[in-house]
Structure 1
Amino acid sequence: MPADELDARILALLLEQPRTSVREYARILGVARGTLQARLDRLDRDGVITGYGPRLSPEALGYRVLAFVHLEVTQGHLDATGRALAAVPEIIEAFSITGGGDLLTRVVARDAAHLEDVIQRLVQVPGVVRTRTEVALRERVPQRMLPLVREVGRDAAAGRTP
Structure 2
Amino acid sequence: MAVDALDTRILRLLLEQPRTSVREYARLLGVARGTLQARLDRLERDGVITVAGPRVSPAALGHPVLAFVRIEVTQGRLDDVGEALAAVPEIIEALSITGGGDLLTRVAARDNAHLEDVIQRLIQLPGVVRTRTEIALRERVPYRVLPLVEAVGRSAAARRPERPGGRTGDAGGGKRAAG
Q: TM-score scaled to structure 2, two decimals? A: 0.87
The amino acid of 2:3's aligned partner reads: A
Which residue number corresponds to residue 112 of structure 1?
112
Which residue number corresponds to residue 86 of structure 1?
86
The amino acid of 2:21's aligned partner reads: S
Q: Distance in 2 between matches of 1:144 and 1:99?
A: 25
The amino acid of 1:31's aligned partner reads: V
How far does residue 123 in structure 1 lie from its aligned partner after superposition? Answer: 0.7
How far does residue 53 in structure 1 lie from its aligned partner after superposition? Answer: 2.4
Which residue number corresponds to residue 100 of structure 1?
100
| Residue 77 of structure 2 is aligned to residue 77 of structure 1 | yes
Q: What runs of 5+ residues in structure 1 fail to find an aligned partner?
A: none
The amino acid of 2:159's aligned partner reads: G
Please show how residues 26-105 of structure 1 align to structure 2 within 5 Å: 26-105=26-105
The amino acid of 2:123's aligned partner reads: V
| Residue 132 of structure 2 is aligned to residue 132 of structure 1 | yes
| Residue 123 of structure 2 is aligned to residue 123 of structure 1 | yes
The amino acid of 2:95's aligned partner reads: F
Q: Distance in 2 between matches of 1:4 and 1:21?
A: 22
Q: Number of matched residues?
A: 160
The amino acid of 1:129's aligned partner reads: V
The amino acid of 2:104's aligned partner reads: L
The amino acid of 1:147's aligned partner reads: P
Q: Distance in 2 between matches of 1:21 and 1:53?
A: 16
The amino acid of 1:28's aligned partner reads: L
Q: Structure 1 residue runs of 4+, over 6 Å off?
A: none
Q: Distance in 1 between matches of 2:100 and 2:130?
A: 11
> Which has the larger Rg?
2
The amino acid of 1:27's aligned partner reads: R
Secondary structure of the residue that 1:53 maps to in structure 2?
A: coil
How far does residue 18 in structure 1 lie from its aligned partner after superposition? Answer: 0.2
Q: TM-score scaled to structure 1, two decimals? A: 0.95
How far does residue 79 in structure 1 lie from its aligned partner after superposition? Answer: 0.9
Q: Distance in 1 between matches of 2:51 and 2:109?
A: 25
Bigger drift between 151-160 and 64-73 goes to 151-160
Secondary structure of the residue that 2:59 maps to in structure 1?
A: coil
Q: What runs of 5+ residues in structure 2 fail to find an aligned partner?
A: 161-179
How far does residue 67 in structure 1 lie from its aligned partner after superposition? Answer: 0.3
- Aligned-pair RMSD on alpha carbons? 1.0
Q: Distance in 1 between matches of 2:114 and 2:69?
A: 14
The amino acid of 2:13's aligned partner reads: L
Q: Distance in 2 between matches of 1:81 and 1:128?
A: 7
State percent identity of aligned pairs. Answer: 81
Q: Distance in 1 between matches of 2:77 and 2:157?
A: 46
How far does residue 3 in structure 1 lie from its aligned partner after superposition? Answer: 1.4
How far does residue 155 in structure 1 lie from its aligned partner after superposition? Answer: 1.4
Q: Distance in 1 between matches of 2:6 and 2:147?
A: 16
